[in-house]
Structure 1
Amino acid sequence: MTWFDNKVQEAKAAVKSSASEEAAAQRVSDDGRSTGKGTRRRGDALVHAIYETVLSEFADGGFGQLTFDKLAPKMGTGKASLYRRWSSPTELLMAALTDPITGFGEPIVPDTGSVRSDLVAAFTHLAESLDRPHGRAMLAIMGRRTTEPELFEQFQRTLVHPYEAVTLQALEAGAARGEVDAVAVNARTTAVGSRLIVAEYTYTGRIDAAEVEAIVDQIVLPIFTPTAHRPAP
C-alpha cells in the first residue's frame, strides 16, 4: 500500500469512527421504537447510501436520472427528506463527490520526500478513482461542459482546482529541494499530469501502475527537469 493510500485510509477510518454511534441507531425508527427488522438506515449510514446511489445513477444514466422523484425510491427515503437536506439534485451530487467515504474527499498532499514519488502517489490515486462510481461521475460531468456549464464550473471549483493545487504543492516542494526547475512550474504545466491520466483512461478504459509511472517519468518530470540537467538539443 502506498503512502497516499495509507493517508486516504486514515481519513476514511476517522469518518467511519465518528459515525459509530449512528450505527447503533439503525434498528430504531424515527419515533424511537424498534423496527424489529434491523434494516432501517439513519444518520451517516443513510447519507452514504444516498451518496452511493446518486453517484451510480448519474454515472450510468446522466442528468436524466438526477431528479429527486427518480432518486428517492431507489434510496429508500422520501423526496421531502431529500429536499430538507439538499436544495437540489446537483447539490446532492457535489456533496457525494466531495465526501471522504463515497467521493474524493479533501485532497491530501503527498509528502514522501521525493517529487517523483509524490507525483506517482497523487496520480495513482486519481487513476484508481476513475474506475469507481465517483470517478465515472466525474468523467460524465466533464463530458457535459457545453450542456451543463454551471455544473461543470462548480465541479472545476470544488474538485479540479483543489486537486491541481496538490500537484502544484508537490512540485513547489520539489523545487525547494532542487529536484525541479521552479521557473517551469505554473498553472499550465501543473495540469499536464492529471489531464493525461484522465485522457489515457478515457481513451483506453484502463490505466495501471506502470502507465502512471510512465506518464510521470516520460512526460511530466522532463517538463520540470532543472535546465542544467537537461540534455543538449
Structure 2
Amino acid sequence: MSETRSRRRGAQLEQAILDAAWDELREVGYARLTIEAVAARAGTSKPVIYRRWAGRAELALAAWFRQVPVPQGVLDTGTLRGDLLVLFSRIARRADSMMNEVVAGVMGEAFRHPEIAALLHDRLTRPSPLTSAVETIVGNAVARAELPPLDLPERVKRLPLDLIRNESTLCGTPLTDETLASLVDDVYVPLLHGLAALQERALRKRD
C-alpha cells in the first residue's frame, strides 16, 4: 500500500471504497462481490470497511446510491413536459442493468434478513436530490399555471426513478426517447393532473 493511500481519511477513504465497490460490482456482479476484493482494490483493509458498513449488502447499496442519477443544474425548459423529459433522460443515462442487479441481489438478502430489508426500505424512501428536482419541476409548473397547487407524496416524488428502473428491468436494454416520452406523457403527467384534481375536490368538500 502506498504512503499516499495509507494517509487517506474520512470522506476521501470512503469515496475510494465506494468507487472500488462499484468497480467490483461491474466486473463480477453482486453475487460474487466480496469485501476482501473491495478492500484490495481500494488499497485498504476489511476491518476498515466493516467499521463503516456491516456487510456487502450495505456496501453495495451505498455504492449504488452514490451512482444514483443526480440532476445537474436547474431544470426549467419553460414547460412541465419539457422539464420532465430532461429529468427522465438524465435518469435513464445513469440507470443501467447494474442498478437492477444490485437492487435484485439486495432484495434477495432482504427476504432472509429483516435488518437488510429495513436498510433497503430506508435507502429507497429517504429524500434525495432526485426528489428535490421533482419538487422544483412541479413548483415551476404551478407557478406557470400548468398545474394547480398540489402536495406531492414522497412516493410520487420517487416515481420517475421507479418507472425507469422497472422499464429497464423489463426491457434489458437502454430506454429509447420514445419510451421515455411515453413514461412522461402517458404515466407521470396524467398522474400529476389526476392528483391535483383529487386534492382540489377534497378541498372543496371541506369548504
Shorter-chain TM-score tier: 0.5 to 0.7
Partner of residue 104, structure 1: 68
Choose which of 16, 21, 28 in structure 2 pairs with 1:54. 21
The AA in structure 2 aligned to 1:218 is D
Structure 1 residues 190 and 151: alpha-carbon distance in aligned structure 2, compared to 1, 3 A threshold: closer
Partner of residue 95, structure 2: 130
Report the secondary structure of 2:119's partner residue.
helix
Partner of residue 85, structure 2: 120
Worse overlay, 132-141 or 198-207: 132-141
Partner of residue 14, structure 1: none
Contact 1:49/1:75 (<8 A) preserved: yes
Choose which of 65, 72, 86 in structure 1 pairs with 2:33. 65
Partner of residue 182, structure 2: 214
Compute the displacement of 1:216 (Å).
0.8
Compute the displacement of 1:97 (Å).
3.5
Higher relative contact order (CA 8 A, sep 6+): 2
Report the secondary structure of 1:62's partner residue.
coil
Distance 1:46 1:142 in 2: 27
The AA in structure 2 aligned to 1:71 is V
Q: Give the alignment's TM-score, normalised by structure 2.
A: 0.65
Distance 1:168 1:81 in 2: 38
Compute the displacement of 1:45 (Å).
7.7
Q: Which runs of 5+ in 1 are unaligned?
A: 1-27, 33-39, 228-233
Distance 1:168 1:142 in 2: 28
Structure 1 residues 107 and 63: alpha-carbon distance in aligned structure 2, compared to 1, 3 A threshold: farther
Name the count of aligned residue pairs: 185
Structure 1 residues 133 and 48: alpha-carbon distance in aligned structure 2, compared to 1, 3 A threshold: farther
Distance 2:100 2:17 in 1: 17
Distance 2:161 2:98 in 1: 18
Distance 1:216 1:139 in 2: 25
Partner of residue 118, structure 2: 150
Q: Which runs of 5+ in 2 are unaligned?
A: 198-207
More helix by share: 2
RMSD across aligned positions (CA): 3.8
